[in-house]
C-alpha cells in the first residue's frame, strides 16, 4: 500500500508539472494494483479531460465519485467535466445535489452559477453558420460566438481557429496569435490554421516565421490556393520576386481565374524591371473583373513607368473613384500628378492620403518629396512639414534608444555603414561608385545595407567594392536597427532621404553612435532629430540656414562631392549656334521641376533672344499629350510651338550636342543632368534659391569656378542667359574648354573628394568620443 501511495504522489507531481504521459502511466499503474483507488481514478479522469478525451475522462471521474462520494472535489470535477462536454443540464444536477448534501464551498457555488449561465445561453452555432457569418464580414458577431465556443468547448480546435481568424481579419495579431497557437495545440494537421497563423505573423512583422507557416500549410494541402498565394505575396514583399512569380504560376495552374495572382504577378514582374510584360497580367485580371481597384491602380503604375502618363492618370482616377479614401490609391494618383508637373494637386492628394493613414511613413515621405518642388511655399513653411514627420515617425521610437557601447577610441579603424535603395543602375552612380572605390581601407571597414527590389550589373560592381554586403529587403525597421547594432557600426550614413525605398525608420532607432544624412542622395534634410549631421558644402547650406535642418549641418568646402562621367558620352562638338545661326537653350529636367515661374522666365529669355529655340528632353515627355500641354503653357506667354522641341531620348548625349546653353530649374534645381551638360561643353544658368535643393546648380558651378552663371533672382537669371547668347564667339570658347575645366576641378578629383568626406566622418567620430 505504501508503494501505491508513493506512485500516486509521483503521478500527481508529474501531472502538476505538465508531464502528462508519465502521469498517465503512474495513474494506470496504481489502478492495476488497486482498482478501487478513487484518487487514481480522479487524477486519471482530470488528465483525460485536459487532453480532450471527454468520454474516457467522465467515466473515470464518475467511478471516483462512486468510490468516494464524501470527497467534494470528486463532485466538482465530475460536474466540471460535464460542463466541458457541453452537458450543462447534467452538470448542474450533479453540483446541486452535492450542495444539498453539504458541499457548500465557494468553488461549488461558482461552478453552479457558471452552469446556470450556460443553460441560459444558446448553444454555439454550428460550424457552417459561423463560417457564413465570417464570409458576410459580421466580425463582431463571429468574435462573440467564437469566444463562446472556446469557453464551452475548449478542446475543440475549430473555435480557437475561428477566433484567431476573425482577430487576424481585424488586424489584431497580438490577440490572434495566442488563439491560433491554442488551435494548433489541438489540431496541428489543419492547413487552415497554419495559413491563418502565417497571416497573423505577417501582420506582426515576423515575416520569416510567416513564410514557414504558409509553407507548412501548403505542404499539408498542396492545392491550397490561399496558402500558396499568401506565400507568393510574402516572398514578393520580401524582395524575392522571381520566387514569388513561381508560386503565383502554381496558383494559376490550380485556379486560372485567380484574379489576385494575376495582379500580384504583374507587380512582381515590375519589381524585376519587366513593366511591359506586367501589362498582360493586369489585363488578364481586369478581364475577370473590370472594376478591380487594386489592379487598376497597379496597371496605372506600370503605364507610368513606361511613360504613358495620360493613360496612367485615367486609371488612377478610376481606382480612387471605386475605392474612395484608400490611402495607397490616393498616393498612387498623387505620384502621377507629380510626374506630370502638377505639383500643387499632387501635394493636396498626398495630404488627403496621409489623412486616411496618418502613420504611413512612406506616404509622408512622398509628401515631403513633392513639397521640395512646390514653387510658391517658403522654405520655413516646407520645414514645418518635415518637423511633423519627426513627431509622427521619429519621436515615438525614442523609447527604443539605448546607449552605445562602441569603443571610444578616436583614431581606431571605424565601421562605416551606408544605407540606400540605389545600389543599382541609378543617377547617384556618379558619386556613389567613387565613394566606395576610393575609401580608405585602413581607416574604414565598409558595410552596405542595400534595400533592393532587383539587382543588376552595377549592383555587382558595388558589391565587389565593400567589405560587408547586407540585403535589407524583408527586414522591418526594428530588425534592421538591431542588425546594425550587432554589426557594431560606428557611423551610419543615409544616402536616400525621402526618396522611394528609403529606410529612415531605421535611423529613428539611432542604431549607431553617429548618424549622417548625405546631400547627394536627396538634397535636403530628413526631418529626423535622431540623425546627427547633414553632410553638405558651404554653398548648399549657407551660414544662417541652420534653422531649416533637423540635423546639424556639417559643411565641407565646395564642392561637397565628386563626379564620374558615364561611359560612352563621346566628344564635345562645335557650338551648334555657329552652324544654325541661332541659339538653342535646353534642359534634361523632369516635368516636376517645371513650374509657372520657370515657364515665365524661360519664355522671357526666348522673347529676348530672337530666333532662339528651347529643347526640353526627359522621360516625362515621352507621352506626346503631356508634351503638348507643356507647349500650351509656353503659348500662353506668346512662345510659338515651332520654337520648342519637347520629347525624350536616352541616352541624351546627342541632345546635349544640340544645345548651346543650359537652363536650370528653380526653386528645385536639377542635379546629375547639370554635371552631364558641363561635361558635354554646355554652360548653364542657375538661380540660387532655398537651401539646399535650390542651390545644387550653384554648388556645381562654384566647384568649377563659374560663379558668374549663378543668379540671385529671376531678373538676374534672365540677364545671364541673354548675355551668354549674345556672345557666340565667347560661347564657342566656353564650349571648347568646359570639359577641361571640369577635369581640372575638384569635381573630378575622386581621391581628394572622398578623402575630404572621410575626414569629416573622422571629425564627427572624434566629437562623439569626446562626449561624456
Residue range(s) occupied by CATH 3.40.50.11380 in the chain: 402-556
Torsion angles phi and psi, residue 102, rounded to 5? 110, -5
- According to CATH, the superfamily of the domain at 127-374 is Tetratricopeptide repeat domain (1.25.40.10)
**Which of 86-95, 449-458, 633-642 shows the lowest mean pLDDT across its residues?**
86-95
The residue whose grid cell reads 507647349 is: 631
51-55, 193-197, 568-572: range with lowest mean pLDDT: 51-55
CA nearest to 193, candidates 167, 157, 223, 150: 157
What string of DSSP letters covers 474-509? T--HHHHHHHHHHTT-SEEEES-TTSTT--HHHHTT
The grid coordinates listed for 156 are 475543440
Whether 2 shows a pLDDT value over 50: the answer reads no
User: Where do the CATH 1.25.40.10 domains begin and end in the chain?
Assistant: 2-120, 127-374
CATH number for 402-556 (one of 3.30.499.10, 3.30.70.1380, 3.40.50.11380, 3.40.50.300): it is 3.40.50.11380
Do 301 and 277 form a contact (C-beta atoms < 8 A)?
no
d(CA 178, CA 533) in angstroms, rounded, equals 43
Least confident piece of the model among 116-130, 346-360, 493-507: 116-130
Quickly state the pLDDT bin for 121 (edges 50, 70, 90).
low
- E strand map for 464-588: 468-471, 491-494, 514-518, 533-537, 552-556, 584-587
Chain segment 569-619, per-residue pLDDT in tens = 999 999 999 999 999 999 999 999 999 999 999 999 999 999 999 999 999
Q: For the segment 264-290, what is each residue's pLDDT rounded down to a tens digit? A: 999 999 999 899 999 999 999 999 999
CATH of 576-748, one of 3.40.50.150, 3.40.50.2000, 3.40.50.720, 3.40.190.10: 3.40.50.2000
Lowest mean pLDDT among 87-91, 209-213, 450-454, 476-480: 87-91
Residue 366 has pLDDT above 80, yes or no: yes
Q: Which residues pair with 220 in a beta bridge?
A: none
Could you give the strand order of the β-sheet that contains 468-471, starting from the edge strand earlier in sequence? 468-471, 444-450, 414-420, 491-494, 514-518, 533-537, 552-556
pLDDT at position 19 is 85
CA–CA distance from 724 to each of 30, 584, 585, 708, 732 (Å)? 107, 11, 11, 11, 10
Strand partners, 468: 447
Query: Of the candidates 80, 78, 54, 55, which has an alpha carbon nearest to the alpha carbon of residue 66?
Result: 78
Query: What CATH code would you report for 2-120?
Result: 1.25.40.10
CATH 3.40.50.2000 domain extents, the chain: 576-748
**In which element (H, E) is residue 656 found?**
helix 653-657
Confidence band, pLDDT 50/70/90 cuts, at residue 119: confident
Q: Who contacts 551 (Cβ-Cβ below 8 Å, separation ≥6)?
A: 516, 517, 525, 526, 528, 529, 531, 532, 533, 534
Could you give the CA distance from residue 297 to residue 727 in angstroms, rounded to a whole number? 51
Neighbours of 402 (CB within 10 A): 9
Q: What's the pLDDT tens digit per position in 457-473?
A: 999 999 999 999 999 98
Cell numbers describing residue 615: 529643347
For residue 772, what pLDDT band results from cuts at 50, 70 and 90?
low
DSSP letters spanning 718-768: HHHHHHHHH-HHHHHHHHHHHHHHHHHSGGG-HHHHHHHHHHHHHHHHHHH
Q: Are 381 and 548 in contact (CB under 8 A)?
A: no
Amino acid at each position: 500500500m505504501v508503494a501505491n501511495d508513493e506512485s500516486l504522489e509521483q503521478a500527481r507531481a508529474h501531472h502538476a508539472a505538465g508531464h502528462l504521459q508519465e502521469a498517465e502511466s503512474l495513474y494506470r499503474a496504481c489502478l492495476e494494483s488497486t482498482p478501487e483507488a478513487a484518487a487514481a481514478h480522479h487524477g486519471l479522469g482530470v488528465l483525460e479531460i485536459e487532453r480532450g478525451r471527454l468520454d474516457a475522462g467522465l467515466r473515470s471521474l464518475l467511478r471516483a465519485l462512486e468510490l468516494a462520494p464524501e470527497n467534494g472535489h470528486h463532485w466538482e470535477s465530475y460536474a466540471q467535466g460535464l460542463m466541458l462536454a457541453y452537458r450543462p443540464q447534467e452538470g448542474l444536477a450533479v453540483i446541486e445535489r452535492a450542495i444539498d448534501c453539504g458541499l457548500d464551498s465557494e468553488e461549488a457555488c461558482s461552478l453552479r452559477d457558471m452552469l446556470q449561465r450556460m443553460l441560459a445561453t444558446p448553444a454555439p452555432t454550428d460550424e457552417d453558420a459561423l463560417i457564413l457569418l465570417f464570409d458576410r464580414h459580421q466580425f463582431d458577431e463571429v468574435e462573440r460566438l467564437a469566444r463562446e465556443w472556446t469557453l464551452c468547448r475548449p478542446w475543440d480546435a475549430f473555435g480557437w481557429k475561428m477566433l484567431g481568424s476573425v482577430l487576424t481579419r481585424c488586424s489584431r495579431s497580438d490577440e490572434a496569435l495566442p488563439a491560433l497557437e491554442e488551435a494548433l495545440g489541438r489540431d496541428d494537421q489543419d492547413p487552415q490554421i497554419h495559413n491563418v497563423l502565417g497571416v497573423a505573423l505577417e501582420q506582426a512583422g515576423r515575416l520569416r516565421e510567416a513564410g514557414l507557416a504558409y509553407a507548412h500549410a501548403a505542404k499539408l494541402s498542396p492545392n491550397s490556393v490561399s496558402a500558396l498565394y499568401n506565400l507568393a505575396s510574402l516572398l514578393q514583399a520580401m524582395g524575392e520576386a522571381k520566387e514569388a512569380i513561381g508560386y503565383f504560376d502554381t496558383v494559376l495552374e490550380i485556379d486560372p481565374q485567380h484574379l489576385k495572382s494575376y495582379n500580384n504577378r504583374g507587380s512582381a514582374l515590375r519589381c524585376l524591371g519587366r513593366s511591359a510584360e506586367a501589362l498582360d497580367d493586369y489585363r488578364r485580371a481586369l478581364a475577370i473583373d473590370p472594376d478591380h481597384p487594386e489592379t487598376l491602380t497597379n496597371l496605372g503604375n506600370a503605364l507610368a513607368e513606361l511613360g504613358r502618363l495620360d493613360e496612367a492618370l485615367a486609371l488612377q482616377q478610376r481606382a480612387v473613384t471605386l475605392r474612395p479614401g484608400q490611402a495607397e490609391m490616393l498616393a498612387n494618383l498623387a505620384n502621377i500628378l507629380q510626374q506630370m508637373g502638377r505639383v500643387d494637386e499632387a501635394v493636396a492628394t498626398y495630404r488627403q492620403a496621409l489623412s486616411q493613414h496618418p502613420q504611413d511613413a512612406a506616404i509622408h515621405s512622398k509628401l515631403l518629396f513633392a513639397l521640395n518642388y512646390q514653387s510658391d511655399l517658403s522654405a520655413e513653411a516646407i520645414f514645418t512639414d518635415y518637423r511633423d514627420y519627426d513627431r509622427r515617425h521619429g519621436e515615438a521610437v525614442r523609447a527604443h534608444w539605448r546607449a552605445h557601447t562602441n569603443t571610444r577610441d578616436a583614431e581606431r579603424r571605424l565601421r562605416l555603414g551606408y544605407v540606400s535603395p540605389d545600389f543599382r543602375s541609378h543617377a547617384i552612380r556618379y558619386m556613389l561608385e567613387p565613394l566606395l572605390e576610393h575609401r580608405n581601407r585602413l581607416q574604414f571597414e565598409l558595410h552596405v545595407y542595400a534595400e533592393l527590389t532587383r539587382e543588376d550589373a552595377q549592383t555587382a560592381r558595388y558589391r565587389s567594392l565593400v567589405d560587408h554586403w547586407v540585403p535589407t529587403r524583408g527586414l522591418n525597421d526594428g530588425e534592421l536597427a538591431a542588425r546594425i547594432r550587432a554589426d557594431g557600426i560606428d557611423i551610419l550614413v543615409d544616402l536616400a532621404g525621402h526618396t522611394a525605398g528609403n529606410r529612415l525608420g531605421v535611423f529613428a532607432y539611432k542604431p549607431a553612435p553617429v548618424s549622417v544624412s548625405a546631400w547627394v542622395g536627396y538634397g535636403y534634410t530628413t526631418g529626423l532629430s535622431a540623425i546627427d549631421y547633414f553632410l553638405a558644402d558651404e554653398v548648399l547650406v549657407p551660414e544662417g540656414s541652420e534653422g531649416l535642418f533637423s540635423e546639424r549641418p556639417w559643411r565641407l568646402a565646395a564642392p561637397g562631392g565628386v563626379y564620374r562621367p558615364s561611359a560612352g558620352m563621346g566628344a564635345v562638338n562645335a557650338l551648334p549656334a555657329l552652324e544654325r545661326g541661332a541659339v538653342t537653350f535646353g534642359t534634361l529636367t523632369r516635368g516636376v521641376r517645371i513650374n509657372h515661374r520657370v515657364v515665365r522666365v524661360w519664355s522671357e529669355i526666348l522673347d529676348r533672344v530672337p530666333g532662339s529655340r528651347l529643347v526640353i528632353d526627359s522621360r516625362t515627355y515621352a507621352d506626346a499629350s503631356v508634351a503638348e500641354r507643356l507647349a500650351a503653357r509656353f503659348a500662353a506667354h506668346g512662345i510659338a510651338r515651332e520654337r520648342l522641341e519637347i520629347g525624350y531620348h536616352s541616352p541624351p548625349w546627342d541632345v546635349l550636342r544640340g544645345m548651346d546653353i543650359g537652363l536650370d530649374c528653380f526653386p528645385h534645381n536639377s542635379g546629375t543632368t547639370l554635371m552631364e551638360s558641363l561635361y558635354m561643353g554646355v554652360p548653364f544658368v542657375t538661380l540660387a534659391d532655398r537651401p539646399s535643393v535650390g542651390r545644387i546648380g550653384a554648388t556645381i558651378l562654384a566647384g568649377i569656378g563659374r560663379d558668374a552663371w549663378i543668379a540671385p533672382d529671376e531678373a538676374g537669371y534672365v540677364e545671364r542667359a541673354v548675355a551668354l547668347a549674345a556672345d557666340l564667339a565667347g560661347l564657342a570658347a566656353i564650349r571648347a574648354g568646359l570639359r577641361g575645366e571640369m577635369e581640372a576641378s575638384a569635381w573630378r578629383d575622386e581621391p581628394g573628394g572622398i578623402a575630404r568626406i572621410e575626414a569629416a566622418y573622422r571629425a564627427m567620430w572624434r566629437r562623439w568620443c569626446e562626449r561624456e
